[in-house]
Structure 1
């Protein structure tokens, strides 16, 4: 299928104009800044592992204009092991509490219902679950009770074994179908439809070509009827495109921000609701420009 790029400020023909309750509506794609409170992040190598450093980083992202600050205490890079629930709580709760007190709209990036519940109590206003409720059966009931925005990502298993699950017929059709099952389960659990956000899960049980196909056909993910979060920032498929022409070595993660910005523009132009990124300032500039361009490109009513 050939992707068609429709650039508009807010709505796209044939897809619903949806937005989660209680979150900003600035007339452009939102920008979510990443705060990894882990010692083994693929992107920053544990630079914000100490709570004080993580809070400072989150405040810097807020100063740069992040609409949402996403705090996570478990690395989900391919092959990563899992911390205990106690360790994850130790990592994220002080950071969530401090950032929320400073006025940030905080999302907690967790697969555990216990961590989500404690983070919400500490001031988080959104849960970003990369497992889409599959890792912890208590998550969907919790989110139904909490009545907060909830991100369901496409997921096929924990990081340690995700590569073996990167097998698809048509990746976009398969991902959309599996996300439809997860949103159905969430609705059945009692989560209001206006609280649900979907994420195609770039890099999670997906090879580089799968990620590119999902990005090119993002409209099919939007057709599920829920806002779409895209997390492409600094991921390895970008490093492969930017590989050194002499050695073939992929470009290191910290040097992939310009490529991330390009992907963010293309995703925003296809109607992505939010971009999850490490470098907020460049992405915010990019989505502002994309929205302004879209205002001119949109067909007259």
Structure 2
């Protein structure tokens, strides 16, 4: 009976399934992800397919995802640790990634601040340049920062208290909660907003209600992915946090933000310049939840 190896991760609560690419067609990846994400199967909020030898990550809908990228950073660090300590229980089902001899796909290890720090440069669907993943910690808990080289980002005012931020691979509609109250039915409201602002055909769209409460920036994201036909009220959204930070920064709100996610875990976003290039870092915890094998009906097709 055909099975698919999987690992399940929690980057700040945004439960993510990662599968090996294994030569699977992109259309099949979308179908398998939709089956695996269902509550009757593995459950989760998003899924991606990884090639650890690249290394590369393709989200099931071809969209861009910060949190899945951060989860892949933890996966690469976990697999590397398994080469050194194969008896560790977290290594069960490991893909056992080998470091490239030239170091381009492997880790740059630092022992500053008495903790192991690794860096992986990963190709991620939707994003035009390599994503730098800076990983600290050991299984099953890590802190992972995704550092992104920012292309030109469009921020468009759509209406009072509504801005559209277009990132590569995903766009986010931001609604100021002080002007637009969070609705009782967020899914229906998000669908209506996608239609009203002609975003139905985008490969991935986030609709985010945000507000500042007692000095803390909070957000509630609903993310729709076209090709997987999924809509999730996500427990955390890294690209949404980045979009919100960019919008607040443009409004004069600084360049460092701690944005509380629905999971109760914040994501820290910083905007900075490196060698004259505009950069962003999205940092937060990543936890390994499970590893194993899953049988999916479409694997037999």
Which one has the bigger strand percentage? Answer: 2
- Between structure 1 and structure 2, the one with the greater Rg is 2
Shorter-chain TM-score bucket reads under 0.3
Which one has the bigger helix percentage? Answer: 1
Tell me the TM-score normalized by structure 1: 0.28
Tell me the TM-score normalized by structure 2: 0.28
